[in-house]
Structure 1
């Protein structure tokens, strides 16, 4: 920047500050650092900073931005030797009423202090801290409390003594705002201070905090107590701190009791001594049955963490044996049972989110005997959909060895109740997707068919788009657990049903499902289709799988070369696939994160077990694409709705991309070696097998062949139960509009009846043929 330009820029800055144009002022303030660089240290000190100091009566947003810029100014004024000019303006900013401006100014001063040597710190910075501490107005004192932790370690012992005395005065100031600020910053100062000074000078200060007349100050005494206990000896804690902590459990201030409830694990951790363990447990028991629901709620939220810290105290030396479980059963379990049926729904909701986490501190046998029955009871009897959803969503915390089919014998009824009664709580229904995968992980495929499949289908066709959009996400995980053949038999028929739905929004569901199967959203790994045992193992079974994959790829390539597919693929360059408003995370929210964290989401990875069980994902996917998916896409491309046509083009394009990538992966030397190891006779046999597997069945348009895993009686029973639920719901919604979920339930019941009648007719026909 030329000299004239610099002068002009400075003049424009002055004009902007003299005019009441906030946007223009903010623009010039954002350019203060470049301007100072070009002005040089001397002009910055003599012209720019004095000008800014004279204009401290501007909008708070301007002052906030000035504070942020000044944090970078120390090298621009010539180093810490010239820090005084910066400190002068920052002291003014430390004195404004707006808290954010003061905090930013304190942060800037802290950065400047860190770059000073000890001598400059004591000569230049300490007087600034003392000056702020001695101001009459609360703003300067509040700002000063945040600077002691920066200064204290770098000054002489004599000056440290002065600073401690000043801080003790601030923490006992007449203004509650100053006392609160001092208490907050005392937490860091305690870590820096010598133990002897803590005991002599700051324990009395702690006593004052613990008895403060203002709740906002008093609650901070809990954190200060924890910080002090980390630095003091066992005897000092017992003599000087513990009595105050013990009294907080019955203090008149519910906010203090609430703070203690959430901090009780930290209290137990810093006071792990056998002498006080029982007293802390007694305090926690009082908090669990506190008369204030907000206290009980936070006490319950601390249950898992408190149990973990309590268990550690029994396992740490010099303990002879671990008595945690007997203590838990005697002292905590009765309170947990009482809370599971208490009147406050919010407390029960927190308990429902916490109960299952106790598996991490209890033995499996103890958990199954005492906690699991409570979980089942809350799930089956609590009328709150949120509580039921919380339990289902946390089932993943249970070990994979724990069979849930017996304790959750009435799970089917719970799921039906949740879906029907959650018309206004659609996120509760979406939670079921996570629950389905948790249950699938610890049960077999037959259990899923009998208890979960029909409800998963209901979520695929939910009236809320976000659920319909999210429901297909778990399909790749179901394939990993149960196999592609199971998925084709039990889930894909629903796609054929949805693609004919009269409402075009439901015709999207098969496209969402196909997209998730070919490009899983839960798979965070690099998209490579031949991986794992397919590359690392060389044996006849792997070679056969590789040959099948190669032949399947060739068949799909040929299919995509047919006119019907070719014409669709030719449109891909002329169509803009803009699905920004269809961002899956927008609809799934944290569902995707939970699934990724709790399940092995490397979908295309092939293990030795997958090879042995013929459950290779990519092989099953190619078979599904050829026999089902391409046909569904071709049908939906003929849809009258343009958006469905566009998404069909997008899906077919994705299939083409996957096939092309597989062609490249099949060119690897390791894959060629597998194929070369097979004889011509073996290849001919594999080719014949592929031909048999890749037969595209013609759809019977006269009836839907959706096998929901239920026999005729089960279907009629399910339809009857659904109608009974509907009748109850209709009575409860007198003079109100019946929720859409009820209408969906009626539709579902009708379909179940239709399926039952169709099966009866089919059975009757078969019997007649047998007789003939």
Structure 2
């Protein structure tokens, strides 16, 4: 006879799963693996699984969690793969419920379990499950079955494989659009398990039927099937069997189908071979880039550099560049933004001369775009252009635009420029930077937006790493320290932030000779926020100074007395950070 202690886990689970409170039932499902572990494999198989199978009438949220838990290594709690088929029962019920996300999660868990099943288990338990689901009266079960074929096709014999192909074909010809949509989604993965001969004889006719379906929600999913099938066939076979379908998809009456083609164009072009790309896809791509729908043009713009890698330079210049120029002036800001992200990827393919002639004017045009995302996207990708045409030419062309953007009304644009400055400075050299960009960098420290001031202090640290401590002492530290006595407390606060951020890049000499004479007096600043940030700064500065004997002496003579004073401050936050800094320094 089982003790009360042995019955306790399953009893608690039953009580919680029967509760009216959804959160309790959900909590029980999340603990189901712990319950199974407490029960042991035998009781989990004999009691827990039947209970779960009989208690599936619940909220979608609970069912979704159950579907997920059963596919997350739950086989181990039943005693390993020999008992994995026991989970198929509850999951089959979940795969037939009305809620889509539950069905999809259940199907995903079933395919995970299929991986650990033996051929005998697949034949005895999994194939009957597939027959029931794919032949179910309700479309929900038939929809779920579509994703379950690929997982076991290679584990069964020829006769069963033929049956699976017929069952899948029935789904492709189903009267319900939702079932055909599921079949279209899973046709590609299923095809990858078949021989080339069977792909030609069985899969391509199904693909053609689905790709000409009267529902565009079905047709758009066949674009990925097209790629999967092309990857199985050689290039000549692709040309013979798939070219009409490619042409139809590019010219489909539904913009959603054309969008899918544009969005997957590089994958499609990579799969079909050079001949088809040269003879068919260049013109098809141009057609998509000039599509009436902005969504299609946006997707196409994102594919430009990837597709350009597959064609010759003269074709890029003759066919693609006219489209790129049109897209740079497109009426849709989203199209221009997508182009801004991708256009710099053409520079390495065109080379220096063609980039200067064809791309540089477009960069300058997009840098002046009224939409901030367009400008941001261009700025973030300039490195590729720099590698091709060199920083001298790039700086001459772009410097006026960069200066203009540095004062842009959109703070995110100003921030993007700041993040690009260290890279630009490294390539321009110290002389050019001091003449053209130094004042700009200092002006950001007084920006009205905190994020810009913060980014500006990080920028100064990076510039110190690029040009060295001596340059920082001569060029930027004096300007930073001048702000430490500014009447506006925000400027004084920025000084402390800048010093704290830059400190790891400085040396003892710079801190002792330049920094401390400004920071130490700020212990008496009237603003508490500044005083506790002084305590934080002392902690960081002491970390640098402690690396030399001279620095350790300065810590004792200047920093420790400053912290002692702050530890007695009337403000609690100041006392807290001063105490924390003092403890860190003492360690």
TM-score of the superposed pair, with normalisation by structure 1: 0.67
Q: Mark the runs of 5 or more structure 1 residues left unpaired by the alignment.
A: 311-323, 521-617, 667-772
Match of 1:477 among 462, 467, 471: 462
Which position in structure 2 is the counterpart of 1:698? Answer: none
Structure 1 residues 133 and 364 mapped into 2: Cα distance closer, same or farther (>3 Å)?
A: same
User: Take 1:194 and 1:646, find their aligned partners in 2: how far apart are those partners?
Assistant: 71
The answer to whether the 8 Å contact 1:56/1:63 transfers is yes
What is the CA-CA distance between 1:3 and the residue it aligns to? 3.6
Which position in structure 1 is the counterpart of 2:535? Answer: 649
Which position in structure 2 is the counterpart of 1:509? Answer: 494
Which position in structure 1 is the counterpart of 2:378? Answer: 391
Which position in structure 1 is the counterpart of 2:248? Answer: 247
For these two proteins, the number of residue pairs brought into alignment is: 550
What is the CA-CA distance between 1:266 and the residue it aligns to? 1.2
Structure 1 residues 259 and 663 mapped into 2: Cα distance closer, same or farther (>3 Å)?
A: farther
**1:467-490: per-residue Cα shift (whole Å, max 9, x none)?**
111221122332233333333333
Match of 1:457 among 442, 454, 463: 442
The answer to whether the 8 Å contact 1:6/1:35 transfers is no
Which position in structure 2 is the counterpart of 1:518? Answer: 503
- 1:449 is paired with a residue of what secondary structure? helix
Which position in structure 1 is the counterpart of 2:57? Answer: 57
Which position in structure 1 is the counterpart of 2:429? Answer: 444
- 2:292 is paired with a residue of what secondary structure? coil
What is the CA-CA distance between 1:229 and the residue it aligns to? 0.6
Q: 1:400-419 residue pairs with structure 2 within 5 A?
A: 402-406=389-393, 408-409=395-396, 411=398, 413-419=400-406
The answer to whether the 8 Å contact 2:407/2:414 transfers is no
**1:306-354: per-residue Cα shift (whole Å, max 9, x none)?**
11233xxxxxxxxxxxxx2222211122222222223322222222222
The answer to whether the 8 Å contact 1:385/1:418 transfers is no
- Does residue 22 of the first structure (1) align with residue 22 of the second (2)? yes
**1:115-142: per-residue Cα shift (whole Å, max 9, x none)?**
2211221122111111111102122112
What is the CA-CA distance between 1:42 and the residue it aligns to? 4.1
Structure 1 residues 299 and 111 mapped into 2: Cα distance closer, same or farther (>3 Å)?
A: closer
The answer to whether the 8 Å contact 2:286/2:323 transfers is yes
User: Take 1:463 and 1:360, find their aligned partners in 2: how far apart are those partners?
Assistant: 39
- Does residue 623 of the first structure (1) align with residue 515 of the second (2)? no
User: Take 2:550 and 2:272, find their aligned partners in 1: how far apart are those partners?
Assistant: 63
What is the CA-CA distance between 1:80 and the residue it aligns to? 4.8
Q: Mark the runs of 5 or more structure 2 residues left unpaired by the alignment.
A: 553-587
User: Take 1:216 and 1:636, find their aligned partners in 2: how far apart are those partners?
Assistant: 66
Which position in structure 2 is the counterpart of 1:156? Answer: 157
Match of 1:493 among 478, 500, 504: 478
User: Take 2:387 and 2:77, find their aligned partners in 1: how far apart are those partners?
Assistant: 61
**1:733-753: per-residue Cα shift (whole Å, max 9, x none)?**
xxxxxxxxxxxxxxxxxxxxx
What is the CA-CA distance between 1:412 and the residue it aligns to? 5.2
Highest relative contact order (Cα 8 Å, sep 6+), 1 or 2? 1
Q: 1:84-483 residue pairs with structure 2 within 5 A?
A: 84-274=85-275, 276-310=277-311, 324-379=312-367, 381-399=368-386, 402-406=389-393, 408-409=395-396, 411=398, 413-422=400-409, 425-483=410-468
- 1:146 is paired with a residue of what secondary structure? helix
User: Take 1:209 and 1:487, find their aligned partners in 2: how far apart are those partners?
Assistant: 66
Structure 1 residues 662 and 201 mapped into 2: Cα distance closer, same or farther (>3 Å)?
A: farther
User: Take 1:131 and 1:230, find their aligned partners in 2: how far apart are those partners?
Assistant: 32
What is the CA-CA distance between 1:401 and the residue it aligns to? 7.4
Structure 1 residues 663 and 158 mapped into 2: Cα distance closer, same or farther (>3 Å)?
A: farther
The root-mean-square deviation of aligned C-alpha atoms, in Å, is: 2.5
TM-score of the superposed pair, with normalisation by structure 2: 0.87
The structure where helix makes up a greater share of residues is 2
- 1:468 is paired with a residue of what secondary structure? helix
User: Take 1:450 and 1:656, find their aligned partners in 2: how far apart are those partners?
Assistant: 34
Q: 1:727-738 residue pairs with structure 2 within 5 A?
A: none
User: Take 2:31 and 2:3, find their aligned partners in 1: how far apart are those partners?
Assistant: 16
The higher radius of gyration belongs to 1
User: Take 2:110 and 2:51, find their aligned partners in 1: how far apart are those partners?
Assistant: 19
The answer to whether the 8 Å contact 1:405/1:447 transfers is no
The answer to whether the 8 Å contact 2:181/2:217 transfers is yes
User: Take 1:260 and 1:625, find their aligned partners in 2: how far apart are those partners?
Assistant: 60
- 1:212 is paired with a residue of what secondary structure? coil
Structure 1 residues 400 and 226 mapped into 2: Cα distance closer, same or farther (>3 Å)?
A: closer
- 1:193 is paired with a residue of what secondary structure? coil
**1:220-277: per-residue Cα shift (whole Å, max 9, x none)?**
1111111111111223211210111123222211111111112111122112233541
- Does residue 11 of the first structure (1) align with residue 11 of the second (2)? yes
What is the CA-CA distance between 1:405 and the residue it aligns to? 4.3
User: Take 2:39 and 2:163, find their aligned partners in 1: how far apart are those partners?
Assistant: 40
User: Take 1:106 and 1:231, find their aligned partners in 2: how far apart are those partners?
Assistant: 25
Which position in structure 1 is the counterpart of 2:524? Answer: 638
User: Take 2:82 and 2:331, find their aligned partners in 1: how far apart are those partners?
Assistant: 66
User: Take 1:215 and 1:105, find their aligned partners in 2: how far apart are those partners?
Assistant: 27
User: Take 1:217 and 1:93, find their aligned partners in 2: how far apart are those partners?
Assistant: 24
User: Take 2:320 and 2:388, find their aligned partners in 1: how far apart are those partners?
Assistant: 26
